[in-house]
Structure 1
Amino acid sequence: MAAGKEDLVTLDVEKGRELGLSQADLVLLTETGLPRVAGGHFCADIPDGPLGLFTVRPLDEDDRALILGGTGPDGDMLYFLDVNEGSVVLLSRGDEDEEPGFEIVNTTLEAFAEFVRRLGAYVDAPRAERPADDKTRLAEIAAGLEELDPEAFRHPHCWWAMVVAHHRREAARRERAHSPAETHSEAFDRALDRLDEKGWRHVTGKEFASATDEYGLLTLPDDISDAFSADGGLRRDVDVRWRGGLPSEIQSAFAWEGLVVRVPEDEPEDEDDFEAAMERLRAAAHGSQEPDEGIVTWLAAAETSDLCRILRAFERLAAKGYVAEPALWPTTSGCWQRVAELTEDVESPRAVFWNTQSHDTAFDTRGDLVNELYLGWAGDREEIAGALAETELAVRVPAHEGTTFILGPAVRT
Structure 2
Amino acid sequence: MMTEVVTLDVEKGKELGLREADLVLLTETGLPRSAGGHFSTDIPDGPLGLFAVVPLAEGNHGLIVGGPHQDGDMVFFLDVDKGAVVLVDLDGGDEGLKFEVVNTSLASFAEFVQRLGAYADAPPAERPADDKARLAEIAASLERLDPEAFRHPHCWWAMVVARHRRAAARRERERAPAASHAEAFDRALDRLEEKGWRHVTGEEFASATGEWGLLALPPDFTDAFAADGTLLRDVDVRWRGGLASELQSAFAWEGLVLRVPEEEPEDDPEDFEAAMDRLMAAAHGPTEPGEGTVTCLAADEPSDLCRILRAFELLAAKGYVAEPALWPTTSGCWERVAERSQDTEALKAVFWNTQSHDSAFDVRGDLVDQLHLGWAGDPEEIGAALADAGLAVQVPQDEGTTFILDPA
After TM superposition, is the score higher than 0.5? Answer: yes
Q: TM-score, with normalisation over the residues of structure 1?
A: 0.94
Structure 2 gap ranges (5+): none
Quote the RMSD (CA, aligned, Å): 2.0
The Cα of 1:272 is off from its aligned counterpart by 4.2
Structure 1 gap ranges (5+): none
Aligned partner letter, 1:388: L
Q: Number of residue pairs matched? A: 406
Match of 2:5 in 1: 8
Indicate which of 50, 53, 58 corresponds to 2:50: 53
Indicate which of 309, 312, 316 corresponds to 1:311: 309
The Cα of 1:22 is off from its aligned counterpart by 1.1
1:80 aligns with 2:109: no
Structure 2 residue matching 1:229: 3-state secondary structure: coil
Structure 1 residue matching 2:211: 3-state secondary structure: coil
Query: For 1:64-75, what aligned pairs fall within 5 Å after superposition?
Result: 64-75=61-72
1:92 aligns with 2:89: yes
1:299 aligns with 2:297: yes
Distance 1:112 1:335, change over 3 A: same
Distance 1:280 1:104, change over 3 A: farther
**1-structure distance, mates of 2:229, 2:237:** 18
Structure 1 residue matching 2:293: 3-state secondary structure: strand
Structure 1 residue matching 2:57: 3-state secondary structure: coil
Contact between 1:282 and 1:330, CA under 8 Å: does it hold in 2?
no
Query: For 1:247-326, what aligned pairs fall within 5 Å after superposition?
Result: 247-270=244-267, 272=269, 276=274, 279-280=277-278, 283=281, 288-326=286-324
Distance 1:252 1:286, change over 3 A: same
The Cα of 1:107 is off from its aligned counterpart by 1.4
**2-structure distance, mates of 1:97, 1:290:** 24
Structure 2 residue matching 1:86: 3-state secondary structure: coil
Contact between 2:128 and 2:168, CA under 8 Å: does it hold in 1?
yes
After superposing the two structures, state which structure 1 stretch, 102-111 or 316-325, moved more. 102-111
Fraction of identical pairs, as percent? 74
Aligned partner letter, 2:376: A
Indicate which of 310, 330, 333 corresponds to 1:332: 330
Distance 1:59 1:36, change over 3 A: same
Contact between 1:244 and 1:287, CA under 8 Å: does it hold in 2?
no
The Cα of 1:287 is off from its aligned counterpart by 5.7
Match of 1:392 in 2: 390
Distance 1:26 1:74, change over 3 A: same
**2-structure distance, mates of 1:76, 1:164:** 21
Structure 1 residue matching 2:50: 3-state secondary structure: coil
Match of 2:381 in 1: 383
Query: For 1:8-407, what aligned pairs fall within 5 Å after superposition?
Result: 8-94=5-91, 99-270=96-267, 272=269, 276=274, 279-280=277-278, 283=281, 288-407=286-405
Structure 2 residue matching 1:366: 3-state secondary structure: coil
After superposing the two structures, state which structure 1 stretch, 204-213 or 26-35, moved more. 26-35
Aligned partner letter, 1:122: Y
After superposing the two structures, state which structure 1 stretch, 331-340 or 277-286, moved more. 277-286
The Cα of 1:95 is off from its aligned counterpart by 7.9
> Structure 1, residues 357-391: CA drift from partner, whole Å, max 9, x if none?
11111111001101000111111111111111113
**2-structure distance, mates of 1:273, 1:325:** 35
